[in-house]
Structure 1
Amino acid sequence: MQGRSKTRIYVPEMVVLDILSKLPVKSLTRFRCVCKLWCSSFQTPHFITNHQQNNLKNNNLNVLLKRCQFHTQVTYYFSQLSIEKGQNFSVKHNVHLPFFEHCRSGPAVSGPCNGLVCLKEDDKVALWNPSTREFKILPQSPVHRPPLADFTSFDCLGFGFDSQTDDYKVVRFVTNYFEHKEDVSRIPDWNHQVELYSLKSDSWKEISAPDVYPYDGPPEFNIYINGFYYWQASGSFDYLFLSFDMVNEKFSTIPLPEFGRFFVGQVLEFKGLLGVIVYPLLGTDKSFDLWVMNGSWTKQFSIESVSGVKRPLRFWKNGELFLETPDHELVLFDPSKRELKHLGIHANLAIYIIAYIENLIPINGRSEHEEHIVRRPVEDAST
């Protein structure tokens, strides 16, 4: 009996790479050892862009939480969430970053921008790609401080992408203080500097400071959206947004929407636009108004009377809203059904949520393993 001949089907390499660009980073990391062509192809700008665009198209979001724990001292860390069918969330890994281990309030988070995160504490700044697990400690700035300054504080920063030069940039605000040694009761004088870091050149430079200064406050007061970084700030007589154009490297200001004295605003992105959710500062029976900037501020919608919550965090995939409860539990609210889903995930202090798209973008750093970053698998969803 004559055996059947085996037929080989040839698949063009371009088709193979297109299929591969739809896979998660974890799979691509394993497939690098299949052949040299695949390994080199995964590092090309074309493949990296295709992979990122596929994740954006399919809205493949991943979630990190900034949390803390109490033992002999307060330790800040990040939790990687696993997202299962039916919007079931659980903690997959707890990630400890030794570079920021002894921070007073944990590293301040800027971003994400294209799936990359910028972290800072005082003069320490680092970039992190949670998808590829690459970590880069930025060099110290060579920008000269005034020689007579008594001390310097490194204030808030912003992190974004320059699409014209294909570069990632960090803008940082610095305050130099001058004490009155002859009269220590007087408030010190100060001046401001602004410096800009370029990932492409791996260097800092000084740029002109704006007339207004942003709040060095909680991360909910700032955000990166489509080439611009926004901070809440205050001018001479009013409150406003300070924005920075990553391409032109210029500052500008935008007024905030009008809201009353006992209301606060959570800054977030809504369909690619700058948005603010305004809600009452006091009480746990909250209503939320969403305002969006598209040439002018427009109220998009209101959510009335959600009980047992403290503040909004961000929107999720289908218009749901992540909220934080007074006891720091992460919950998910569906405005269309008016359903509040308790996720069983808590923090000892306020929760900060980072939702990012998986990516292969290199940051010229070192692996998490080389930086002694520890990822601990977690079985208990509330851990």
Structure 2
Amino acid sequence: MKLPSPNLTDQTCYASIGFGFDAKNNDFKVVRLVSIFKGFDFEKDQPPAVEVFSLATGEWRMVTASLPPICLLHGCEPQAFVNGALHWLACKRSAGFKIHSFILVFDLEDEVFCEIQLPNISSELQYSVAVYGNYFVLLQTERLLCGGFQKLWLMEEYGVVSSWVKLLNCAFCLGEGIPRAIGFRRNGKFVFDFNQEEHVSEEFETQEIKDLLFTPCLCTLGDSYVESLVLLDKPANTAVTY
């Protein structure tokens, strides 16, 4: 299904995309967060503009009732849809002009924003968000001079910061390449991209690594899905007869 052009199409805009299902209104939605940043100048910067495409209406509309904070989203990283909400990694300036990383959350049903704090990790590390089963997880890469670590954090109780637990701490050497976490296979195995040269999966408990034997693209993303009988070329809130 090809979407119509969004309302905000300025080439200087910085857009992050999210997609998910609104169970309350039986509607699939695409969300765009659009920002123009000027070096975190609080006198000039504004919160990202928010627009939503609804499958039920087939149109884009602006969201003004709830706006996110002034923040910078990691636009190239995938979002995670879990618990009826979209999640993006973001950062903003806190007291003392320090950069504070957090997870920006947009509830698709009520269309309101909130924030979830990260576990106690350094903001200088590379990380991304994903879904593992029904849980919200954080994939973390820590690079060292001789190699590094790939870590997996899982939030056992959604929205409760104290429930972050570390499930995986996998070491790698410099000669092995630097893995980039992509997501999970259906059987729950961790999937890595090694320097855009190969994809491998790893078993949590045994840490057994398997080459998936396919050539990655320049920018590879992974996401979870749920099978559905919804026809994307038909409004989600109307009946389809045959």
Q: Provide TM-score, normalisation by structure 2.
A: 0.76
Aligned-partner Cα distance in 2 for 1:207–1:225: 21
Counterpart check, 1:173 vs 2:26: no
Contact 1:262 1:281 in 2 (8 A): no
Structure 1 pair 176–291 and aligned structure 2 pair: CA distance change class (3 A) = closer
What amino acid sits opposite 2:29 in the alignment? Answer: K
Q: Does 1:291 align with 2:153?
A: yes
Matches within 5 A, 1:39-54: none
Unaligned runs of 5+ in 1: 1-135, 179-188, 366-383
- Unpaired runs of 5+ residues, structure 2, are 39-43, 95-99, 235-242
Q: Residue 229 of structure 1: CA displacement?
A: 0.2
Distance 2:134 2:145 in 1: 31
Task: Give the structure 1 partner of residue 216 of structure 2.
Answer: 347
Rounded to whole Å, the distance in 2 between the matches of 1:202 and 1:364 is 9
Structure 1 Cα separation of the partners of residues 140 and 36 of structure 2: 34
Cα distance between partner residues in 1 of 2:68 and 2:180:
31
Q: CA deviation at 1:301?
A: 1.9
Following superposition, the deviation at residue 174 of structure 1 comes to 2.6
Query: In 2 relative to 1, CA 342–214 (structure 1 residues): closer, same or farther, beyond 3 Å?
Result: same
Residues 98-156 of structure 1: per-residue CA shift (max 9 Å, x gap): xxxxxxxxxxxxxxxxxxxxxxxxxxxxxxxxxxxxxx22223457x9xxxx8652511
Q: CA deviation at 1:331?
A: 0.7
Matched, 1:271 2:127: no
User: 205, 216, 226: which is aligned to 2:83?
Assistant: 226
* 1:355–1:271 CA distance, 2 compared to 1 (3 A): closer
Displacement of 1:251 in angstroms is 0.6
Q: Which amino acid aligns with 1:333?
A: E
Alignment of 1:98-177 (within 5 A): 136-141=1-6, 152-153=12-13, 155-175=15-35
1:374 is matched with: none
Match for residue 321 of structure 1?
A: 190
Query: Could you say which residue in structure 2 is the equivalent of 1:368?
Result: none
Q: Alpha-carbon deviations, 1:54-101, whole Å to 9, x = none?
A: xxxxxxxxxxxxxxxxxxxxxxxxxxxxxxxxxxxxxxxxxxxxxxxx
* TM-score, structure 1 as length reference: 0.50
Aligned to 2:240: none
Distance 2:74 2:172 in 1: 30
1:258 and 1:140 mapped to 2: Cα distance? Answer: 40
- C-alpha offsets along residues 194-244 of structure 1, whole Å, 9 cap, x if unaligned? 112211011222112322334142224x21113100011112221111100
1:331 aligns with 200
* Structure with max Cα Rg: 1
Identity of matched residues, %: 24
Q: 1:326 to 1:259 in 2, by over 3 A?
A: same
What is the correspondence of 1:19-98 to structure 2 with a 5 Å cutoff? none
- Which sits farther off after the overlay, 287-296 or 350-359? 350-359
2:56 pairs with 1:197: no
Q: Does 1:356 align with 2:216?
A: no
Distance 1:359 1:304, change over 3 A: same
Q: Distance in 2 between matches of 1:333 and 1:177?
A: 38
Mark the CA change 1:325 to 1:262 in structure 2 (over 3 Å): closer, same or farther: same
Contact 2:4 2:59 in 1 (8 A): yes
* Cα pair 1:197 1:203 within 8 Å, conserved: yes
Rounded to whole Å, the distance in 1 between the matches of 2:197 and 2:125 is 20
Q: 1:337 to 1:200 in 2, by over 3 A?
A: same
Higher RCO, Cα 8 Å, sep 6+: 1
- For 2:181 and 2:35, the matched residues in 1 are separated by 31
Superposed CA deviations along residues 338-369 of structure 1, whole A, max 9, x for unmatched, are 2111122122524223443443321117xxxx
Paired amino acid for 2:3: L
| Alpha-carbon contact 2:154-2:167 (below 8 Å) kept | no
Aligned length: 215
Alignment check: 8 A CA contact 1:330 1:351 kept: no
CA drift at 1:290 = 2.2
SS at match of 2:214: strand
Q: Go from structure 1 to structure 2 and tell me whether the alpha carbon gap of 1:327 and 1:338 turns closer, same or farther (over 3 Å shift).
A: same
CA offsets 1:22-78 (integer angstroms, 9 cap, x no match): xxxxxxxxxxxxxxxxxxxxxxxxxxxxxxxxxxxxxxxxxxxxxxxxxxxxxxxxx
Q: What amino acid sits opposite 2:188 in the alignment?
A: G
Q: Distance in 2 between matches of 1:165 and 1:266?
A: 29
Q: Is the 8 A contact 2:35 2:49 kept in 1?
A: yes
Give the counterpart letter for 1:319 in structure 2: G
